[in-house]
């Protein structure tokens, strides 16, 4: 998962990398107070998970607290490259002598991390690499050795950065390995008028597979842009919001993807992707249905389960449980097949909920869900 700038800079600071003083807010009035605390002037920065915010108008310089309030008012609620701005960060401005680029990126072909450095930081590195490839240095890192001070000194020398950047490189490697990141990027790493190296911008992508051992993950999950995605993630569901009207729940990513196609083939559009996974329990089904039914865009839900490890009667039990907990107002078409399908059908028939429709095949289920979504 990609972190916001303010989260990424906290990680860097935690490993001893210098960052400017800064605070986040979603209120223009508070922005004024923050700027005052920072000493008056402030850089107002949109917190969106996209690069190139500067060029898109998402990074503005405020000369005093009143202007910080004004800039915050202007930036909040705008859209930066398709991302709505809900939060800004106000940072203490820094006098920049030079801007460098420093990153570790995963090279999947080599199966190794590569240090990427340039003395031409500030602008996007892809542009520098395209215009002047010789200005970008790439050095692979042996994962068993890591980045020692000696190794860092060599990389920094080869790239033409000041010698003291080696310390930043060593610390950045600690961020990468100890925080289980797949990418850490500082652009710009600024040389200040006072001769210090400060990370003015930070991008960190954490490895989702390491979630189990990163105890601070919970607080970062709040970073989900979509409240439904956040609630699904909190329940351990794989959910992606889409822009149609038919809610989709299935077991297994392949089945759910085919279901999206079949719905599209029926002239409707899926409202989401939700995979309850293999061996799903009644609780997982019930949680999934709760999430999908709380999406106001959903006009009908299609539950498509092919029971292998998953037992259809457990899934049906979850549906019944959700019916009692959520009290749906939209129709739910259920197709159950495979392991314990007959028992699953019996559970649904017992409940005889007026909004639950049983279908026997995937095509039939999709047709009915598409029809119900357009007529209710
Ligand atoms: P990005 O456009 O999303 O990469 O956002 P950045 O945080 O990198 O900001 C864009 C540019 O604004 C940077 O490359 C800097 O040149 C400039 N900038 C950011 N903070 C400061 C600051 O404190 N002082 C000065 N002078 N420039 C800054
Ligand atoms: Mn940047």
C-alpha 59 – ligand 1 centre gap (Å) = 7
Tell me if residue 101 is catalytic.
yes
In percent, the amount of the chain with pLDDT more than 70 equals: 97
Measured from the CA of 56, which atom of ligand 1 is nearest?
Answer: 2
C-alpha 102 – ligand 2 centre gap (Å) = 11
Q: Which ligand is nearest to the CA of 51?
A: 1
Q: Cα 122 to chain center, whole Å?
A: 24
C-alpha 51 – ligand 2 centre gap (Å) = 6
Each residue of 210-220: pLDDT tens digit? 988 887 765 55
Q: What CATH number corresponds to the domain at position 113?
A: 3.30.470.20
Domains in the chain: how many in total? 3
255 and 314 part of one domain: yes
185 and 52 part of one domain: no
Q: Is 98 in the pocket of ligand 1 (CB under 6 A)?
A: no
235 and 315 part of one domain: yes
Tell me if residue 185 is catalytic.
yes
Distance in angstroms (rounded) separating the CA atoms of residues 28 and 35: 11
107 and 183 part of one domain: yes
At which residue do the structure tokens 């040389």 appear?
191
147-161 mean pLDDT: 97
- CA distances to 58, 307, 362 from 323, rounded to whole Å, are 44, 21, 22
pLDDT band at 228 (very low <50, low <70, confident <90, very high): confident
Q: Of all protein residues, whose CA lies closest to atom 13 belonging to ligand 1?
A: 122
From 67, 69, 185, 299, the catalytic residue: 185
254 and 368 part of one domain: yes
pTM of the predicted model as reported, rounded to 2 decimal places? 0.71
Token pair, residue 332, equals 């739910």
Q: With 0-12 CB in 10 A as exposed, 13-18 as middle and 19+ as buried, what is 285?
A: buried
Q: Which stretches of 224-340 are DSSP H helices?
A: 227-234, 253-265, 282-293, 312-326
Q: Is 43 in the pocket of ligand 1 (CB under 6 A)?
A: yes
CB 86 within 8 A of CB 76: yes
151 and 209 part of one domain: yes
Each residue of 288-325: pLDDT tens digit? 999 999 999 999 999 999 998 889 999 999 999 999 88
Q: Is 54 in the pocket of ligand 1 (CB under 6 A)?
A: yes
**148 part of a folded domain:** yes
Can you spell out the DSSP letters for 161-193? --TTHHHHHHHHHHHHHHTTEEEEEEEEEEEET
C-alpha 98 – ligand 2 centre gap (Å) = 14
Distance in angstroms (rounded) separating the CA atoms of residues 229 and 155: 41
Looking at residue 149, its pLDDT comes to 98
Measured at the CA of 278, the angle between CA 257 and CA 246, to 5 degrees, comes to: 35
At which residue do the structure tokens 């699904």 appear?
232
Domain end, chosen from 91, 112, 142, is at 91
pLDDT band at 71 (very low <50, low <70, confident <90, very high): very high
C-alpha 14 – ligand 2 centre gap (Å) = 20
Domain end, chosen from 91, 106, 130, is at 91
40 and 154 part of one domain: no
Distance in angstroms (rounded) separating the CA atoms of residues 17 and 83: 28
Q: Cα 340 to chain center, whole Å?
A: 37
Q: Assess whether pLDDT exceeds 80 at residue 46.
A: yes
In percent, the amount of the chain with pLDDT more than 90 equals: 82
Domain end, chosen from 195, 217, 239, is at 217
C-alpha 80 – ligand 2 centre gap (Å) = 14
151 and 210 part of one domain: yes
Measured from the CA of 188, which atom of ligand 1 is nearest?
Answer: 14
**14 part of a folded domain:** no
From 5, 99, 101, 179, the catalytic residue: 101
Count the Cβ atoms, other than its own, within 10 Å of residue 173: 21
260 and 351 part of one domain: yes
Looking at residue 223, its pLDDT comes to 52
Range of the domain at 334: 226-375
Q: Is 188 in the pocket of ligand 1 (CB under 6 A)?
A: yes
**140 part of a folded domain:** yes
298 and 336 part of one domain: yes
Q: Of all protein residues, whose CA lies closest to atom 10 belonging to ligand 1?
A: 54
Q: Is 59 in the pocket of ligand 1 (CB under 6 A)?
A: yes
**128 part of a folded domain:** yes
Please, what's the b/e burial string for 198-218 (b: 16 or more CB within 10 A of its CB; e: otherwise)?
A: bbbbbbbbbeeeebeebeebe
Q: Assess whether pLDDT exceeds 90 at residue 188.
A: yes
110-123 mean pLDDT: 95
Looking at residue 213, its pLDDT comes to 87
**198 part of a folded domain:** yes
In DSSP terms, 368 is beta-bridged to: none
Count the Cβ atoms, other than its own, within 10 Å of residue 250: 26
Our mutation pick for probing the ligand 1 site, out of 24, 42, 100, 188, counting the most ligand atoms within 8 A of Cβ, is 188
Distance in angstroms (rounded) separating the CA atoms of residues 302 and 305: 10
Looking at residue 278, its pLDDT comes to 79
Q: What CATH number corresponds to the domain at position 57?
A: 3.30.1490.20
121 and 167 part of one domain: yes
Q: With 0-12 CB in 10 A as exposed, 13-18 as middle and 19+ as buried, what is 104?
A: buried
Q: What CATH number corresponds to the domain at position 328?
A: 3.40.50.261
pLDDT band at 367 (very low <50, low <70, confident <90, very high): very high
Looking at residue 17, its pLDDT comes to 98
Ramachandran angles phi, psi of 191, nearest 5°: -90, 115
**10 part of a folded domain:** no
Q: Is 122 in the pocket of ligand 1 (CB under 6 A)?
A: yes
Measured from the CA of 51, which atom of ligand 1 is nearest?
Answer: 3
Token pair, residue 147, equals 């980045």
Measured from the CA of 50, which atom of ligand 1 is nearest?
Answer: 3
204 and 345 part of one domain: no
């Amino acid at each position: 998962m990609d972190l916001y700038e303010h989260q990424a800079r906290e990680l860097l600071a935690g490993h001893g990398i210098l960052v400017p003083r800064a605070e986040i807010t979603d209120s223009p009035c508070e922005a004024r107070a923050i700027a005052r605390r920072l000493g008056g002037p402030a850089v107002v920065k949109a917190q969106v998970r996209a690069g190139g915010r500067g060029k898109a108008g998402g990074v503005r310089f405020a000369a005093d607290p009143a202007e910080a309030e004004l800039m915050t008012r202007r930036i909040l609620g705008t859209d930066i490259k398709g991302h709505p701005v809900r939060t800004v960060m106000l940072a203490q401005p820094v006098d920049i002598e030079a801007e460098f680029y420093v990153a570790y990126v995963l090279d999947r072909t080599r199966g190794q991390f590569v240090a990427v450095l340039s003395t031409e930081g500030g602008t996007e590195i892809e542009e520098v690499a395209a215009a002047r490839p010789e200005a970008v240095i790439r050095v692979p890192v042996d994962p068993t050795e890591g980045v020692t001070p000696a190794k860092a000194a060599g990389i920094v020398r080869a790239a033409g950065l000041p010698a003291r950047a080696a310390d930043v490189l060593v610390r950045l490697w600690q961020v990468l390995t100890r925080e289980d990141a797949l990418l850490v990027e500082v652009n710009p790493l600024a040389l200040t008028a006072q001769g210090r190296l400060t990370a003015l911008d930070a991008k960190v992508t954490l490895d989702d597979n390491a979630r189990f051992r990163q105890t601070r993950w919970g607080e970062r999950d709040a970073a989900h842009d979509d409240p439904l995605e956040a609630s699904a993630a909190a329940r351990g569901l794989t959910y992606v919001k889409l822009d149609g009207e038919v809610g989709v729940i299935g077991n297994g990513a392949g089945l759910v993807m085919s279901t999206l196609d079949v719905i599209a083939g029926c002239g409707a559009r899926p409202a989401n992707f939700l995979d309850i996974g293999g061996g799903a329990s009644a609780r997982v089904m019930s949680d999934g249905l709760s999430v999908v039914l709380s999406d106001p865009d959903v006009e009908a839900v299609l539950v498509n389960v092919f029971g292998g490890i998953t037992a259809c009667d457990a899934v049906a039990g979850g549906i019944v449980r959700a019916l009692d907990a959520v009290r749906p107002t939209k129709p739910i078409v259920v197709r159950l097949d495979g392991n314990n399908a007959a028992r699953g059908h019996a559970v649904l028939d017992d409940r005889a909920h007026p909004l639950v429709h049983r279908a026997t095949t995937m095509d039939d289920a999709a047709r009915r869900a598409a029809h119900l979504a357009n007529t209710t």
